[in-house]
């Protein structure tokens, strides 16, 4: 039940967007993040925030659930391990046979009775171990007894899964929508200590390659993520063409270019990123403050991404956007392209950019080991195994046999072999 509750809780963390702990630690960054989320959830945003659904794995109730589950799994694992160790012993006290056991009586001597039982079990192909004591003989038959560890492996795997979740929740982080431009490093993580740099990207969004802390390149295929150590990287559909533009007058004087914004910052070179995502706009605006003109650049063939080179159209308007100065078409050719409108020369360089989702999961190897153990334990439940114990001791004029077994449901072969070996009436035996 606790595992089902944990699964439902984890499902919530995938249904709702999650914010990293280090973003929440910065009130300004957290409010900026919430403002982007509020566009989608609107008036439900305060309720979801109060319930902690934007940071499920960092809430107190999630940690309490993990702690309770760890306690239950540890107790269950200890109990299961103790039972396995007990069952591996040959000799047991009479209390061991008080549960699910059968009593046989034999007219043979204790030694001959033990040999008959041992021989009958060995004919079934099981391994038999014995131990002799004063007036008593202990027997243990086993076949594929290694499969009896299935429950312990399942508990151990589940425990590792929970520990991995706790480690990732405490020390892990993720950063979504990381904008990557060629040869421009980006620093990520709580201390901005993780450096990644885009060294190659295709306009068709099919693949990209990045350098990680100066090592690489690491290829990242579209539609699937790539991992390196405890980090994972996944391409999103937010990438596309990246256009670099510089401008100068016919006299040769350089002109500043600025984004079309409330407080534009003058730059010598401006980067315009276009995205193939369906919800994104295919046009960008920028201004030349000294010339008092507005330039509109539109991506003409976004639907042909991956099949042909991107093409653009440039419009130049006077300030206010009422008077058209001129237009020109730009085709990506692998090198710079020039256009001249209204006495201004524009230099265009078309490349590609990528948008990545980056996650740091220090418990990913623990998570993988836990999943393997848990699945192995579940698979081993279908492996048939046989295990039986017998205590043979003299009882007056005859011999008493205490018998107990653990086998697949309906498998009475070991029990029947004992009854036949001792010439006991099978019909009268308690099954």
Q: DSSP string covering 330-376, please?
A: EE--SS-EEEEETTEEEEEEEEEEEEEEEEE-TTHHHHHHHHHHHHH
Q: Are 403 and 193 in contact (CB under 8 A)?
A: no
Question: What is the structure's pLDDT at 425?
Answer: 53
Question: What is the structure's pLDDT at 373?
Answer: 96
Question: What is the structure's pLDDT at 306?
Answer: 65
Question: What is the structure's pLDDT at 389?
Answer: 94
| Residues contacting residue 11 through CB under 8 Å, at least 6 positions apart | none
**Domains located in the chain, CATH noted:** 105-144+386-426 (3.30.310.80), 240-352 (no CATH)
Question: What is the structure's pLDDT at 414?
Answer: 92
Question: What is the structure's pLDDT at 431?
Answer: 44
Q: What's the token pair of residue 84?
A: 């396995």
Question: pLDDT by residue for the chain (431 residues), tens digit each?
Answer: 888 898 899 898 888 888 877 677 778 878 888 888 888 888 898 899 888 888 888 888 898 999 999 999 999 999 999 989 988 889 888 888 888 888 888 888 899 999 999 999 999 999 999 999 888 999 999 999 899 899 999 999 999 999 998 898 888 888 888 899 988 999 998 888 899 999 887 755 568 889 998 887 888 876 666 887 889 998 888 888 999 999 999 888 999 999 988 888 999 999 999 987 777 788 999 999 999 999 999 999 888 766 778 899 999 999 877 799 999 999 876 678 999 999 999 999 998 899 898 989 999 999 999 999 999 999 999 998 999 999 999 887 789 999 999 888 888 899 999 989 988 654 445 44
| Residues contacting residue 126 through CB under 8 Å, at least 6 positions apart | 141, 142, 143, 386, 414
pTM: 0.72
Q: What's the token pair of residue 48?
A: 């979801």
| H or E element that contains 179 | strand 173-180
């Amino acid at each position: 039940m606790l595992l089902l509750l944990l699964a439902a809780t984890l499902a919530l963390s995938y249904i709702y967007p999650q914010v990293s702990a280090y973003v929440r630690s910065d009130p300004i960054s957290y409010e900026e993040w919430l403002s982007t989320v509020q566009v989608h959830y609107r008036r439900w945003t305060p309720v979801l925030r109060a319930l902690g659904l934007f940071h499920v794995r960092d809430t107190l109730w999630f940690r309490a659930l993990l702690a309770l589950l760890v306690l239950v799994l540890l107790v269950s694992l200890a109990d299961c391990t103790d039972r396995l160790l007990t069952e591996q012993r040959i000799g047991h006290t009479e209390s061991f046979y008080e549960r699910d056991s059968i009593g046989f009586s034999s007219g043979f001597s204790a030694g001959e009775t033990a040999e008959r039982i041992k021989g009958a079990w060995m004919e079934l192909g099981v391994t038999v171990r014995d131990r002799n004591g004063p007036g008593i003989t202990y027997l243990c038959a086993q076949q594929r007894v290694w499969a009896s560890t299935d429950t312990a492996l399942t508990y151990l795997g589940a425990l590792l899964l929970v520990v991995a979740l706790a480690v990732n929740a405490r020390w892990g982080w993720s950063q979504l929508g990381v904008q990557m431009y060629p040869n421009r490093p980006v620093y990520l993580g709580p201390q901005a200590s993780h450096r990644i740099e885009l060294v190659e990207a295709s306009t068709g969004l099919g693949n990209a390659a990045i350098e990680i802390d100066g090592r690489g390149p690491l290829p990242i295929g579209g539609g699937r993520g790539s991992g390196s150590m405890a980090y994972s990287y996944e391409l999103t559909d937010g990438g596309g063409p990246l256009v670099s533009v510089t401008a100068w007058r016919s006299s040769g004087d350089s002109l500043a270019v600025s984004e079309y914004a409330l407080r534009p910052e003058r730059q010598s070179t401006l980067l315009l990123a276009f995205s193939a995502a369906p919800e994104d706009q295919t046009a960008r605006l920028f201004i030349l403050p000294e010339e008092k003109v507005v330039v509109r650049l539109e991506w003409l063939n976004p639907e042909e991404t991956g099949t042909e080179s991107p093409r653009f159209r440039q419009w130049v308007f006077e300030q206010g956007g009422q008077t058209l100065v001129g237009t020109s078409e730009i085709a990506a050719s692998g090198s710079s392209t020039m256009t001249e409108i209204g006495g201004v020369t524009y230099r265009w360089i078309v490349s590609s950019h990528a948008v990545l989702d980056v996650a740091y999961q220090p418990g990913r190897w623990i998570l993988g080991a836990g999943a393997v153990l848990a699945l192995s334990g579940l698979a081993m439940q279908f492996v048939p195994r046989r295990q039986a114990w017998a205590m043979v001791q003299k009882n007056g004029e005859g011999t008493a046999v205490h018998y107990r077994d653990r086998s697949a449901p309906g498998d009475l072969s070991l029990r029947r072999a004992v009854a036949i070996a001792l010439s006991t009436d099978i019909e009268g035996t308690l099954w």
